[in-house]
Amino acid sequence: MPLPPGTALSPRDGHQAIELPDFTGLHLASLAGDVSNPVLAAVVTSLLARAGSRSNAVAFYDDSPFVTY
């Protein structure tokens, strides 16, 4: 069975107590021009465009086409 609600997370359950790497605060505009990974560059470009077009982040319904800006 999947992990039941109320169960404490532990490595045994497939959860790791390890923090994720901190990629926040990086200068994304520089990364957008990095062609060493064109997919990452394209993703960052689209994210920057979105961040620049909205004052507040909101989430849309999954069962609909990807909302782009």
Partner 1 sequence: MTTAPSSPTEAGHRHNTSALWPLQGLDVAAARAAGHQAVPFQQFVLKMHSRCNFACTYCYVYSGPDQSWRRRPRTAPAEVVAKTATRIADHAKTHMLSEVHLNVHGGEPLLTGAAAPIRYVTAVREAIDAAVGPGFCQVQATLQTNGSMLTEGVVTELADAGLKIGVSLDGGRARHNRHRVDHRGRPGWPAASRGLRVLARHPDAYGGILCTIDPSSNPIDVYESLLSFTPPSMDLLLPHTNWSSSPGRKTGIATPYGNWLADVFDHWFHAESPQTTIRLFTEIIGLLTGQESGTESVGSSPVVAVVVDTDGAIEQVDSLKTAYSGAPETGLNVFHHTFNEALDHPGIAARQIGTAALSDQCLSCPVVGICGGGNYAHRFDARNGFRNPSVHCADLERLIRHIADRLRPFLLKARLPRD
Residues 17-36 touching partner 1, rule: CB under 8 A, are 17-21, 23-28, 30-31, 34, 36
At closest approach, how far in Å is the CB of 41 from partner 1? 8
Site membership for partner 1, residue 49 (CB under 8 A)? no
Tokens of 9: 């997370």
Q: Are 22 and 28 in contact (CB under 8 A)?
A: no
Which amino acid would we find at residue 32? A
Distance CA 15, CA 49 (A): 34
What residues make contact with partner 1 under the rule CB under 8 A? 1-9, 12-21, 23-28, 30-31, 34, 36-40, 42-44, 46-47, 50-51, 56-68
